[in-house]
């Protein structure tokens, strides 16, 4: 059984990080222990310190906001009575007023191991705010549910956004605690940082092996398989293709009304990607893109999570869908995640090179090969900050 930072923070020596302090806590619905007890409740009942504020990332502290890019406002927590501050609303950065009544800010949010998932940037921005305000920052570590594999291109500085603040690959293979150490040491995110590591976690573990409950970290992340396909499935947010929102299998069902599902599935399976089968299917989203319309497409069935190349396989899938009907295919236009000029697909990719290669019909295998040198450099950089 894996023990997360949430379980270990109340034990020696880690409890000393909080003793006699005023404590703030960044949480969301997945911030629970193995008995499904939420961190906010556990912190509120501890006599060793005083819980004075709660903070929540995108989708709300309780997961209330279903879709992307829906802001939410703060309120008073009815159970603990402490103020709840939104970090996905008027400000994505804790303000001095938000931090005034605390000495330590604790981060305990489940990540999904993908560069564009915004929770890691909520963490980074909060670290910066605490550094400026002279507050300590503590990360309670949790598993990376998609393991230690690293894949994809490194984000280019020109495409920095809230879905990519730092030059890391799409699938980074790190835990949030390790990322905090990386951000501080390599990318200038200065603060007084402590990480409470997990006990019993191995980098090759599948999430189901941890013994921990899977709680949706965001409303469209219902299962560990969703997290495994997400490094690729998320790219369809940048086009007029349904990424399965409004269905029971988001990011696994991909399609649009004009797609020929049989031809698409045959083509995708001909590439012989390891660990996956593309099954032709039809679906009708109940909300979001193409809601109420019949979409043809594929369901991505993961057969070997450790071998499945989610990102590159979905880049190829995107290119094949575009090739079927280039006159009906379109890139989503700005705004996207607080960016108003650049195309959303380029922000998701962290570069415009992939979009340009798809538009030009270039050899995508050559594109994947071109990522290797930067990935090797990242692996060397990453190795300095691995805890497990």
17-34, pLDDT tens digit by residue? Answer: 999 999 999 999 999 999
Whole-number Å distance between alpha carbons of 149 and 309: 9
pLDDT at 90: 84
Q: Within 13 Å of residue 7, how many CA atoms lie on the same side as its CB?
A: 13
The answer, yes or no, to whether residue 325 has pLDDT greater than 80, is yes
Looking up tokens 């961190």 gives 39
Measured between its terminal Cα atoms, the distance across the chain in Å is 15
pLDDT at 328 over 80: yes
pLDDT tens per residue, range 189-217: 999 999 999 999 999 999 999 999 999 99
| Band of pLDDT at residue 61, cut at 50, 70 and 90 | confident
Can you tell me the distance from the alpha carbon of 144 to that of 39, in angstroms, rounded to the nearest whole number? 19
Diameter over CA atoms, the chain:
64
pLDDT band at 76 (very low <50, low <70, confident <90, very high): confident
- Which strands form 253-256's sheet, in the order they lie side by side? 253-256, 295-302, 276-283
Round to whole Å and give the CA distance between 168 and 142: 19
What percent of the chain is modeled with pLDDT above 90?
92
The owner of tokens 């000029």 is 341
Neighbours of 333 (CB within 10 A): 10
Confidence of residue 89 (pLDDT cuts 50, 70, 90): confident
- Asked whether the bond before 9 is cis by omega within 30 degrees of 0, the reply is no
Element (H, E) at 360: helix 353-360
Whole-number Å distance between alpha carbons of 165 and 160: 5
* Cα 347 → chain centroid: 14
Domains of the chain: 5-217 (3.40.50.12170), 224-351 (3.90.1150.140)
Global confidence as pTM: 0.95
The answer, yes or no, to whether residue 66 has pLDDT greater than 90, is no
Band of pLDDT at residue 59, cut at 50, 70 and 90: confident
69 — pLDDT class (breaks 50, 70, 90): low
Rounded to whole angstroms, the Cα distance separating 164 from 8 reads 30
| Mean pLDDT over the full length of the chain | 96
Handedness of CA 266, 272, 277, 282 (dihedral sign): negative
User: Tell me, what's the pLDDT at 79?
Assistant: 86
Tell which residue, 233, 225, 276, 230, has the closest CA to residue 254.
233
Alpha carbon 376 to chain centroid distance?
Answer: 22
Task: Answer whether 2's CB lies under 8 Å from 198's CB.
Answer: yes
Q: Would the pLDDT of 13 be above 70?
A: yes
pLDDT at 67: 66
For residue 35, what are its two tokens?
Answer: 């008995």
C-alpha to C-alpha distance for 277 and 63, rounded to whole angstroms:
31
């Amino acid at each position: 059984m894996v023990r997360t930072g949430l379980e270990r923070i109340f034990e020696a020596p880690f409890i000393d990080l909080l003793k006699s302090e005023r404590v703030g806590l960044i949480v969301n619905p997945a911030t629970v222990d193995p008995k499904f007890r939420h961190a906010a409740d556990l912190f509120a009942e501890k006599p060793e310190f005083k819980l004075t504020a709660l903070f929540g990332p995108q989708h709300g502290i309780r997961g209330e906001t279903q879709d992307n890019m829906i802001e939410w406002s703060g309120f008073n927590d009815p159970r603990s009575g402490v103020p709840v501050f939104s970090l996905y609303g008027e400000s994505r950065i804790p303000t001095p007023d938000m931090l005034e009544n605390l000495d330590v800010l604790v981060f305990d949010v489940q990540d999904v191991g993908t560069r564009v998932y915004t929770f890691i940037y909520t963490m980074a921005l909060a670290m910066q705010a605490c550094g400026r305000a002279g507050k300590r920052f503590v990360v309670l570590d949790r598993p990376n549910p998609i393991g230690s594999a690293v894949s994809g291109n490194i984000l280019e500085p020109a495409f920095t956004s809230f879905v990519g603040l730092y030059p890391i690959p799409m699938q980074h293979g790190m835990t949030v605690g390790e990322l905090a150490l990386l951000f501080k040491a390599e990318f200038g995110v200065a603060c007084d940082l402590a990480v409470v590591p997990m006990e019993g976690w191995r980098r090759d573990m599948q999430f189901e092996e941890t013994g921990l409950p899977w709680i949706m970290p965001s409303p469209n992340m219902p299962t560990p398989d969703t997290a495994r396909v997400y490094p690729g499935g998320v790219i369809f947010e940048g086009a007029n293709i349904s990424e399965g929102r409004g269905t029971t299998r988001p990011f696994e069902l991909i399609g649009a009304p004009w797609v020929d599902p049989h031809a698409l599935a045959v083509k995708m399976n001909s590439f012989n990607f390891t660990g996956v089968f593309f099954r032709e299917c039809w679906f009708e989203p109940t909300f979001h893109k193409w809601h109420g319309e019949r979409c043809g497409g594929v369901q991505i069935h993961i057969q070997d999570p450790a071998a499945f190349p989610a990102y590159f396989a979905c880049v190829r899938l995107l290119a094949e869908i575009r090739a079927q009907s280039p006159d009906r295919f379109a890139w989503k236009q700005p705004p996207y995640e607080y960016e108003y000029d650049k195309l959303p697909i380029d922000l998701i990719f962290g570069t415009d090179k992939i979009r340009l290669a798809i538009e030009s019909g270039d050899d995508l295998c050559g594109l994947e090969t071109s990522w290797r040198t930067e990935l090797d450099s990242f692996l060397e950089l990453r190795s300095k900050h691995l805890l497990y």
